[in-house]
């Protein structure tokens, strides 16, 4: 069933609209749907009973200055050794001499042994509990 708009309802719609209240909120205030308010507002404008709604122009937003990102540190250059890395070296431990050894490398700890191996070398199969 179509609802009949009264002059009082039109006046209330225009009064609230002129105060800058959004049509959606006017619908809630008047107990009607947004679509009925928008439709009636449109018809009032077409009939010349109401001026078109003014569009509020917002102040331009200032754009923040770009953030200065610090330069990344230069990559560390590894010492180049003429020797190729040893992949999956299998060090051994001499419990009597208390020495780790692999090939011609010897050290008192596995850490020291790793430092003596060419850069990029990897070690496998040793017990860290010794």
Residue 102: φ, ψ to 5°: -150, 125
The pLDDT assigned to 6 comes to 92
Do 39 and 84 have their domain in common? no
Q: What is the pLDDT of residues 88-125, one digit of tens each?
A: 777 888 888 888 877 788 888 878 877 887 777 777 66
The whole domain housing 97 covers: 79-130
**Within-domain flag for 98:** yes
The pair of three-digit structure tokens given for residue 105, joined into one six-digit string = 């490398």
Predicted structure pTM score: 0.42
**Within-domain flag for 65:** no
Q: What is the pLDDT of residues 12-53, one digit of tens each?
A: 999 988 888 888 889 999 999 999 999 999 999 999 988 887
d(CA 14, CA 51): 9
**Within-domain flag for 130:** yes
**Within-domain flag for 73:** no
d(CA 95, CA 111): 16
- Contact indicator for 100, 93 with CB cutoff of 8 Å: yes
């Amino acid at each position: 069933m179509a609802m009949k708009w009264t002059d009082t309802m039109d006046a209330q719609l225009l009064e609230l609209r002129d105060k800058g209240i959004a049509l959606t909120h006017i619908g809630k205030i008047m107990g009607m749907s947004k679509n009925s308010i928008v439709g009636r507002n449109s018809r009032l404008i077409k009939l010349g009973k109401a001026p078109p709604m003014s569009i509020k122009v917002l102040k331009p937003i200032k754009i923040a200055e770009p953030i200065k990102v610090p330069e990344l540190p230069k990559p560390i250059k590894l010492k180049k050794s003429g020797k190729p890395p040893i992949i999956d070296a299998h060090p051994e431990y001499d419990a009597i001499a208390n020495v780790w050894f692999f090939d011609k490398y010897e050290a008192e700890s596995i850490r020291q042994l790793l430092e003596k191996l060419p850069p990029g070398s990897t070690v496998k199969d040793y017990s860290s509990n010794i």
